[in-house]
Amino acid sequence: MNWRSGIPLVAVLAFSGCSSESVNPADGSSAMDQSVAQDQSVAKDQSVAEDQSVAEDQSAAKDQSVAKDQSVAQDQSAAKDQSVAKDQSVAKDQSVAKDQPVAKDQSVAKDQSADAQASVKKGCFPFCTSLSDCPQGAVACSNKICMFCTSDAQCQQMGGAKKCDVATGTCIMCTQDSHCFYYGQPMWSGKCDTQLKLCVKCSTDNDCQWQSSTTELCVNGRCVQCKSDADCASAQTTGCDQNGFCSKCNSDAECCPPGQTCGLKCDVGLGACLCQTDKNCTDVFTQGKWECRAP
């Protein structure tokens, strides 16, 4: 017994016998530090995991926002494209609607022009592009007209004619009755028709019956071929025109060479053979150049 401490030695030994190893205070502190460190590491890992989760949520939210913005942008673009397409369609419809009246007007104008051209009465007329196109006796080709004179001297050489009508290239036979005599002999009727400037003025049929005359009838003071259709029975065209010549047609056949068909048509109202093309004329008049035109 340790009487000094008041506790029996046996009791002290018994109490201390709970562990034969001595406890190092430093080792207890290290275990505690490891536990604290482990807890701190777990807490840190949880914090990192939580931060990563938050970051992922934020990234997902950002991606969703971007996707939403892109979707909105696409919708807006699609709406804009649809609006543009609609505007273009409306503009196209308006343009088509605008063009249709113009096209209709142009078509109407074209039809009217065609009708107007069809209503123009055209006949066959000789023309020239050079002197070689003209009949014998012509002296020049001017403005598509065969000129038979360009001066008075050329007409005087033809016997009896006194002056040249330069505008038409034809010789004027007379301007008065005295011009209708050649070496004392009457030319044709011997009287001057001052309108035609030809010696075809008459008082009776007898004035018109000179040698080789083809105008043996006197009508209204002028020698002519006919007074009525009956006087043209033997002529190519059997109608007597208003000027007293057998040039009035009564049928299409009279406009073509005997026994042939051609493109010339008889306008019975006018009594004239009309054409539509130059070929209609050249098929009938094979000598020289001819064209189909209005008078």
> Is 277 within a domain?
yes
pLDDT at 231 over 60: yes
Taking the C-alpha atoms of residue 290 and residue 113, their distance in angstroms, rounded to an integer, is: 25
State the residue range of the domain holding 282: 228-295
Task: List pLDDT tens digits, range 40-97.
Answer: 554 555 554 455 554 555 554 555 554 555 654 555 655 566 655 555 654 555 654 5
> Is 247 within a domain?
yes
What's the chain's average pLDDT?
75
- Once rounded to an integer, what is the mean pLDDT over residues 240-246? 92
Question: Tokens in use for 158?
Answer: 């033809």
Q: What is the pLDDT of residue 13?
A: 32
> Is 22 within a domain?
no
Of 15-24, 173-182, 271-280, which has the strongest mean pLDDT? 271-280
> Is 232 within a domain?
yes
- Once rounded to an integer, what is the mean pLDDT over residues 139-144? 92
> Is 281 within a domain?
yes
Taking the C-alpha atoms of residue 162 and residue 174, their distance in angstroms, rounded to an integer, is: 6
* CA dihedral sign of residues 201, 205, 209, 215: positive
pLDDT confidence band for 6 (50 / 70 / 90): very low
* Choice between 4 and 39, residue whose per-residue pLDDT is larger: 39
The answer to which of 50-54, 147-151, 238-242, 266-270 has the lowest mean pLDDT is: 50-54
Task: List pLDDT tens digits, range 189-209.
Answer: 999 999 999 999 999 999 999
> Is 262 within a domain?
yes
- Once rounded to an integer, what is the mean pLDDT over residues 139-157? 88
For the whole model, what pTM was predicted? Answer: 0.52
Pairing of the two strands 265-267 and 272-274:
antiparallel
Alpha carbon separation from 34 to 23, 38, 46, 131 (Å, rounded): 18, 6, 18, 135
Measured from the Cβ of residue 61, the count of other Cβ atoms closer than 10 Å reads 10
> Is 259 within a domain?
yes
Domain count, the chain: 1
Is the distance from CB of 266 to CB of 250 less than 8 angstroms? yes
* Choice between 6 and 233, residue whose per-residue pLDDT is larger: 233
Question: Tokens in use for 40?
Answer: 């701190």
Is the distance from CB of 249 to CB of 239 less than 8 angstroms? yes
246: left (phi over 0), alpha (psi -120 to 50) or beta: beta
- Once rounded to an integer, what is the mean pLDDT over residues 236-256? 93
- Once rounded to an integer, what is the mean pLDDT over residues 100-110? 56
> Is 256 within a domain?
yes
